[in-house]
Each structure stands twice: as C-alpha cells, then as structure tokens.
Structure 1
Amino acid sequence: MPTNAAPAPDEPHRARDMAESFGTDPARYDRARPRYPDTLVRRIVAAAPGHDVLDVGCGTGIAARQFQAAGCTVLGVDVDARMAGFARERGLPVDVAGFETWDAAGRTFDAVVAGQTWHWIDPAAGGAKAADVLRPGGRVALMWNVYRPGDDLADAFAAAHRAALPDAPRMPWNRSAHDAYGAVFDKVADGLRATGSFGAPERWEAAWEQPYTRDAWLEHLTTSGEAALHTPRQAADLLARTGAVIDELGGTFTMPYVTVAVTAVRTGASVS
C-alpha cells in the first residue's frame, strides 16, 4: 500500500510504491504523458555509434517508439509486466526485470536511454549496468521532461495544491521544476562518473511547449508518481481545484517544458 513518506530529494529510487504505481492503467499513462522533442531524439541517435538502443524503464514505449521512428532497433526493459505488455502489443520487445539486476545475456548496445525513469534506478548500480551493456563509444542518454510554467500559472496551481493537500510533504509548484530536479541530475551524473567507465557527463536541453485542455491536464496529473500517495478524496479535491484554475484560463493553457538529457560516452573496453 502507498505510504505518505516521501523519498529524500536525491534518493527517489527508494520510493518503490511510487515507482511501481504507473502500471495501474497503461493506456491512460501512454495517452496522457508527453513525448520527447524529436530534435533531442535525433541528436542522441546521431551521437551514438550505431542504432541498437536499450530503453531502460521503457514503460508503455513512449520514448522507444520515437527512437524506432528515428531508425533504431530498440529493446525495452521494465519492471512492470503490465506496462511491458502494453508496449509489446505496439511492437516493442521488452524484458520484464529491474534494470539493476537484469540479465543482458551477453547483449550489448550502441545507446542506453531512459525517458522519465532513471530517477527510479539506483544511480550507482544503474550506472554500472549501463557501462556493462554499452559498446565502447556507446552513449548513455537519460531524459526528463521538466515543467517551466510562468509565475502566474505556477502560483495558481500551487494554491490549488496547497488547499487540497495542506499536509503534503512536497509542494511541486514552489520553485522551478528544473531546479527541483537539479539534485537528481547531479546524482545521476555522479553515478556515471563513479563507474570510471564514462567520459565527462553533459546536460543537453531542448525547450518546447505543449497545449493542454482541462481534461488532458487533469488526466496527466493522475499519472504522476505522487498521485499514488493521495487518498481518493484528496485526489478528487486536487483535480477539482486544479480544474477550476484551468476554467479561469478559458479551459485551455500551454505548458512550457524543457527536456534535459544527462548524457555521457562509454570509454575503454567492455567490462563484461
């Protein structure tokens, strides 16, 4: 059962209840979650030595399908059999396993990617596994979509969140989500450095915007990890109050995003 305990900001991989909540409704997750900028996907593909890609925490295959469309052969790994089943039905081969303990069976790849999932991976064990399955010169590229709302929108969403969840341990709208993710990005980069198998990690960024209707944004909210921690009454109150904010905006709004990729190149010989 979900608990109200929040993970430390730099240890989200320990929040297993949240990490394993996404498969409750894979179709809704796939429908509601944003995609990744094609410009960033193409940049990652161009910077890899070949087109064999491993998508870690592939979920329903959102990122994987974009890499397939860019000409790559993609294998997914996901801990949730429900998400894996949805992805398989749409043409993605998926191994069901936790990445840290996944048996690659001798397979290696030109790129290891992850979309909105690497913070659920132990940074040390995940970095070591990525190094193990990457060919020399291969690239790891770990992506996150990060909100960048204007102050007025952030303040309105914060007021709705505070009213519905006054005792919540975390307020997602109090500061830039980019800043909030900063500790995660640093921890991920440290995990790659600690392997001794990668060149210096970099951050690649791509800014873009996504229009939302009231219903689309509320559905998006129900797919967050934090939604698993809310009681039904809290969830209904948060959605009603957030919906009222969007109604005041005329029923639609545009959310600015930046997608950040923490990326590094595999150096030296394979450790296998």
Structure 2
Amino acid sequence: MPVMTTADKQEKSRQAGSFGAAADAYERGRPPYPPEAVDWLVPGHARTVVDLGAGTGKLTRALRAPGREVIAVEPSAGMREKFAQVLPDVRVVEGTAESVPLADDGADTLVCAQAWHWVDPERAVPEAARVLRPGGRLSLVWNSRDTSAPWVAKLDRILRDCAAAPTRDRQVDRVGAPFGPVERRDFRWSHPMTTDEIMDMVASRSYVITLRPAAREELLARVRALLDAERPAAMPYLTECYRTQLGA
C-alpha cells in the first residue's frame, strides 16, 4: 500500500468532511443498496444493527426489519439533519468509526457503507470490536459505477480528468484481529436514474464538492453534455461487499 504524504492526508480529511455541504444532492443522487447484498451483509437474526457513517440513510432504509433496532452513526451535522428529515423514526447520533457513542457489547452487526476508506483502521477496528457482541459481524460495502458500460467509462474519464478522486484503497486488508477471515461477494445490478439524478450523484462526490467553483462548473457541464448525448435511463452498479466475524 502506498505511503500517504501529509498533503495526501490533509486532502483526504478535507474530502471526508465535505459531504454535509451537499446533503440534498447526496440524498437525491446516491443509489440504494440491492436487497440481496443487504441480506448477505446482515444476518437475519441480528436484532441491533449499527449503520456507521450513515449519511442520509441510503443503507439504513434497507437495514430496517421487524423486531430490529437500527442505530445510525454520522459525523456530519448536515447529513444528520437530512437523515432526520427522511428517517425521523430512526435514532441517529453524532460519532465516527474511531469514536462510536454506544455501549460495549451492544450490537449484533456493524455495517459501514461507502466510508471505511475514510477511517483510521488502527482505531476503528478495536472500536468496532468494542461495540459488537461476541461473535458479532463487521460488514463493509461500496456501490461503484460499473465501468464495463461504455458510457459509464466515459463518465469516469471525465471525473478523473477534472477532479482528484480519493484513494481506491478500501483498507479491508487492515481489519485483522480480533476479527476473523474476511469474506467477499459482489452484486451487479442497475438503478433507474434520470439525468438530473445522475448530475446530483456526480455533484455529491467529495472530490467534486471540494473543487473550486469554476472547475466544478466545467466538470458538471462536461457531464451534462455526455448525458445529453447518451441519454441513459439507469446507472449500472457493482456492489462490493465484505463481512467478518468478531473472534472467528
């Protein structure tokens, strides 16, 4: 794994803290998670599930089930405010992967969606172990655009031409003890989206939010031109899932 410079760490921190400013676009443009992926990530017997880095609750909605308590943990005030609007019946608390404001041994499963690459695993792994009951599960998941579709590959090139995307290092290999072996499964699916929703998805990316205004406008104009030419009706996704058990 490449060593991050101080400048890299500062930029990563800046991007990680940017989402609150785009909470509305995040809610409109980010996709949900396919039910089959959620079923693989969370055992049916789980009664207390923590959604770590819950954002506006995109995954939280799929985690809810009869007889199950879902607790959302989110560091951004803007995201928590939006979360409370769309999921007023779900408890959301301020916290991070490195400092989860919940009691010891209180959760059956802790799920982290679109966020583990932002955390410090040296602090987040023992914190997850503290919150989970013995034998509990840590699950990590990412929705990624499926660039095997030619128009999505063109979109990806525009984003990488115009913006410094964050590291692709998932940091999954840094989970380790006291967790057991990490299992992986991928799910391919397609999410219906309008052009405006795809624009919101792009605008909600951390590396787009943090661009200077002129650069951001240029990028969004190029994306709009691509979408006007291609006229897609859906975004193909690859949902990348990992799970590991405490003490396994």
User: TM-score band, normalised by the shorter chain?
Assistant: 0.7 to 0.9
Question: Which residue does the alignment assign to 2:151?
Answer: 153
Question: Which residue does the alignment assign to 2:38?
Answer: 41
Q: Quick check: 1:227 aligned with 2:211?
A: no
Q: Quick check: 1:188 aligned with 2:172?
A: yes
Instruction: Classify 1:107/1:85 alpha carbon distance in 2 versus 1 (closer, same or farther; 3 Å).
Output: farther
Question: Which residue does the alignment assign to 1:3?
Answer: none
Between the aligned partners of 1:160 and 1:68, the Cα distance in structure 2 is 36
Alignment counterpart, residue 246 of structure 1, candidates 214, 227, 230: 227
Counterpart AA for 1:259: T
Task: Let me know the Cα RMSD of the aligned residues.
Answer: 2.5
Instruction: Classify 1:14/1:71 alpha carbon distance in 2 versus 1 (closer, same or farther; 3 Å).
Output: farther
Question: Which residue does the alignment assign to 2:52?
Answer: 56
Q: Quick check: 1:260 aligned with 2:225?
A: no
Counterpart AA for 1:93: R
TM-superposition CA deviations, 1:153-185 (whole Å, max 9, x none): 24532554466x3xx545x9xxxxxxx74x32x
Equivalences for residues 1-272 of structure 1 within 5 A: 15-46=12-43, 49-69=45-65, 72-89=68-85, 90=87, 91-106=89-104, 108-150=106-148, 152-158=150-156, 160-161=158-159, 165=162, 168-169=163-164, 181=168, 183-184=169-170, 187-190=171-174, 192-193=175-176, 196-249=177-230, 251-267=231-247
SS in 1 for 2:20: helix
Preserved contact between residue 143 and residue 240 of structure 2 (Cα < 8 Å): yes
Q: For structure 2, list consecutive stretches of 5 or more residues without a partner in the other structure.
A: none
Instruction: Classify 1:254/1:137 alpha carbon distance in 2 versus 1 (closer, same or farther; 3 Å).
Output: same
Counterpart AA for 2:205: S
Between the aligned partners of 2:143 and 2:153, the Cα distance in structure 1 is 20
Between the aligned partners of 1:93 and 1:36, the Cα distance in structure 2 is 20
Preserved contact between residue 41 and residue 242 of structure 2 (Cα < 8 Å): no
Between the aligned partners of 1:227 and 1:152, the Cα distance in structure 2 is 22
Preserved contact between residue 197 and residue 266 of structure 1 (Cα < 8 Å): yes
Preserved contact between residue 139 and residue 244 of structure 2 (Cα < 8 Å): yes
Cα offset for 1:122?
A: 0.9
- Give structure 1 regions of 4+ aligned residues with deviation exceeding 4 angstroms: 11-14
Counterpart AA for 2:146: R
Counterpart AA for 2:29: A
Between the aligned partners of 1:70 and 1:246, the Cα distance in structure 2 is 40
SS in 2 for 1:140: strand
Cα offset for 1:213?
A: 2.4
Instruction: Classify 1:208/1:99 alpha carbon distance in 2 versus 1 (closer, same or farther; 3 Å).
Output: same
Cα offset for 1:72?
A: 2.7
Between the aligned partners of 2:11 and 2:128, the Cα distance in structure 1 is 19
Preserved contact between residue 49 and residue 107 of structure 2 (Cα < 8 Å): yes
Counterpart AA for 1:80: S
Question: Which residue does the alignment assign to 1:176?
Answer: none
TM-score for the superposition, normalised by structure 2: 0.86
SS in 2 for 1:15: helix
Instruction: Classify 1:262/1:235 alpha carbon distance in 2 versus 1 (closer, same or farther; 3 Å).
Output: same
Preserved contact between residue 116 and residue 144 of structure 1 (Cα < 8 Å): yes
Structure 1 window deviating more from structure 2 (140-149 vs 14-23): it is 14-23
Between the aligned partners of 1:198 and 1:160, the Cα distance in structure 2 is 39
Cα offset for 1:204?
A: 1.9
Between the aligned partners of 2:115 and 2:172, the Cα distance in structure 1 is 11
TM-superposition CA deviations, 1:61-90 (whole Å, max 9, x none): 111121014753111111112211222332
Aligned residues between the structures: 241
